[in-house]
Every structure is written in structure tokens, then in C-alpha cells.
Amino acid sequence: MKIRIGTAGSPTGSNMTGIAAVEEAGLHAMEVQFGRGIQMGNGLAEKIGEERKRHSVALSVHAPYYVNLLSEKAEASRKRIIDSCDRARRMGASPVVFHPGYYGKLSKERAYEEAKRQIAIILEHIKGWGVEIAPENTGKDSQFGTIEEVLGLAKELKTSFCIDIAHFRAKHRGKENLDELFAVLPKKHIHFQYSGVEWNSGGEKRHMLIDKAHFTAFARHILERKIDCTIICESPETFEDAQKMKKIFEDLGWEFGAKASVKAN
Ligand SMILES: [Zn+2]
């Protein structure tokens, strides 16, 4: 069992120098953020890949937020995910996490079938790249991506998946049941995102700093069930809160070891 804790984005503002900073702080993972678009060229992605090999830090990628596989613009959305995968393979990063899209006028069943069809096209395109893609559960009622939908797609298409605990909380307006969630998760390495969260009548409003009591309860579930996982901190203070998350695990008796061994993805 291995637990990796990491930041959403680089603590230094540069992916190149962020890897060493993450390692220096005793953390084990960094999620490269393409949320507002992919500004990274292939050359830089390859340099970051070289830098990654010098450190024990696992890289993953968050694809742009402007993705809606369930709209007429599906092709442009697929391209954003495929381009994210292309940079990811050059960096040695995996998985590439993405929000699938919005139901719009589609029924839940039609939306699921369409998401499946779109993701299958992406998988065909990135075959052999060595990069996994991970649809993420979402926090707003208008967004496709319940836990069931995401796990269903992952199972049918043999993809990875991402479980965002803040989104799960927002979707259930704080009345979420972690026991029920953990009961349906497959026994494999799980890519989590975690932060505090605020919600309104439509679900998720924004990510917040972590709440120590809530994270402690979450960490207990991981330890009791011996879940091999990566947990990316998506709070507004990702670097500080990721270190707090690590400390909470240590206070619960978990030893991360001097250097978490990171298998090249
Ligand atoms: Zn996300």
C-alpha cells in the first residue's frame, strides 16, 4: 500500500522548478494544471519529463475546464484532452484528469452513452501512448459525472478515474456518506482530489481550505481499508494544505518513508 500526497499545480508557479520544491517539502505528487488552457509546448514538456526522472515525484495532469464532450463542440473538447495526453506522455505524467461535460438537454442515459462514445474515440487516438485518462466526478447538478457514471465509464472502457471528494460533498450538500463511497470503489490505485468546498442550490460553488476534522475522517477510511492512492490537494493554498494533509496521516500513525518510491508512469 502506497499513499502519495501532492499539489494541484506547482508551488513555485513553474512546473519545471515545482517538482524539486514538492519533493523538498516531503510530498510525492504534482498535478500539472491545464485548467485555463494548454500553454506548454512539446519541448518544455520533454524538459519537465527529464526533470521528473531526477526526483521521486509522480506527475499527473488536469485537462482544461473548457471541455464538454456532450455538446456540438465535442471535437474541440476531445482535442483538448488529447493534447493534454500528448504533453503528459512527454512529461511521463499519468493520469490525465478531465470533467466530461454537461447534461444539457440529454437524458442521463443518453448523456452516459454519448460520453462513452466520445471517450472511446479519445482512447483510440492515444493508444500506445502510455497515458491513462481519468474522468472525474463533478460537483454541480448540471454536470455529467456522478460517482456511478464515472465508475461505470471506467469499468466499461477500462480507463482510470478520479474521485474528487469536494465534488462528492457538494453534490450531496454535505450529507455525503463516505462508507457508501468506499464500498463501491474498485480495489486498485485510486486518484483522489481533495479540498474543502462551498455549495449552493446547484451544487459546488468553490473550493475552500481543508477542514481538519473532515480530512481526518477521510484519511481514516483510507488507512482502515488500506487503499493505495494519490491524493491531490485542490485547496486555494495547495502547498500548505497538502503538507497539512500529510501531517494528519502521520498523526494517525502512517509512515511515508524518507522518499516515497515512485514508479515511472
Ligand atoms: Zn477536476
Averages of pLDDT over runs of 10 residues in the chain (265 residues) are 96 97 97 95 98 97 96 95 98 98 97 98 98 97 97 98 97 93 96 94 93 96 96 97 97 80 46
SS3 state of residue 197 = strand
Residue at 47 is within a domain: yes
Query: 0.75 cut: is pTM over it?
Result: yes
pLDDT value, residue 181:
96
Compute the distance from residue 217 Cα to the ligand 1 centre, in Å: 22
| Ion ligand 1, residues whose Cβ is below 5 A away | 136
Residue at 239 is within a domain: yes
pLDDT value, residue 91:
98
Residue at 259 is within a domain: no
- Return the C-alpha cell found at 250: 502521520
Compute the distance from residue 147 Cα to the ligand 1 centre, in Å: 13
What are 208-244's pLDDT values in tens digits? Answer: 999 999 999 999 999 999 999 999 999 999 999 999 9
Compute the distance from residue 251 Cα to the ligand 1 centre, in Å: 28
Residue at 256 is within a domain: no
Please provide the DSSP assignment of 36-53 as one string: T-----HHHHHHHHHHHH
pLDDT value, residue 53:
97
Domain ranges, residue 21: 3-251
- The helix-helix angle for 15-24 and 42-53 (nearest 10°) equals 20
Compute the distance from residue 244 Cα to the ligand 1 centre, in Å: 21
SS3 state of residue 21 = helix
- For residue 119, give the CATH number of its domain: 3.20.20.150
Residue at 265 is within a domain: no
pLDDT value, residue 264:
41
Q: How many domains does the chain have?
A: 1
Residue at 261 is within a domain: no
Length of the chain: 265
Compute the distance from residue 62 Cα to the ligand 1 centre, in Å: 7
Compute the distance from residue 137 Cα to the ligand 1 centre, in Å: 8
Query: What residue type is 32 in one-letter code?
Result: V
Residue at 257 is within a domain: no
Compute the distance from residue 17 Cα to the ligand 1 centre, in Å: 23
For residue 92, CA distances in Å to 44, 51, 111, 206 come to 12, 10, 32, 30
Compute the distance from residue 234 Cα to the ligand 1 centre, in Å: 9
C-alpha closest to that of 173 among 132, 142, 141: 141
C-alpha closest to that of 57 among 215, 242, 194: 242
What's the start-to-end Cα distance of the chain, in Å?
17
Q: Are strands 196-200 and 203-208 parallel, antiparallel or unpaired?
A: antiparallel
Residues forming a β-bridge with 133: 96
Question: The cell 466520445 sits on which residue?
Answer: 118
SS3 state of residue 6 = strand
Residue at 240 is within a domain: yes
Please provide the DSSP assignment of 140-182 as one string: BTTEE--HHHHHHHHHHHT---EEEHHHHHHHTTT---HHHHH
pLDDT value, residue 257:
76
Compute the distance from residue 145 Cα to the ligand 1 centre, in Å: 11
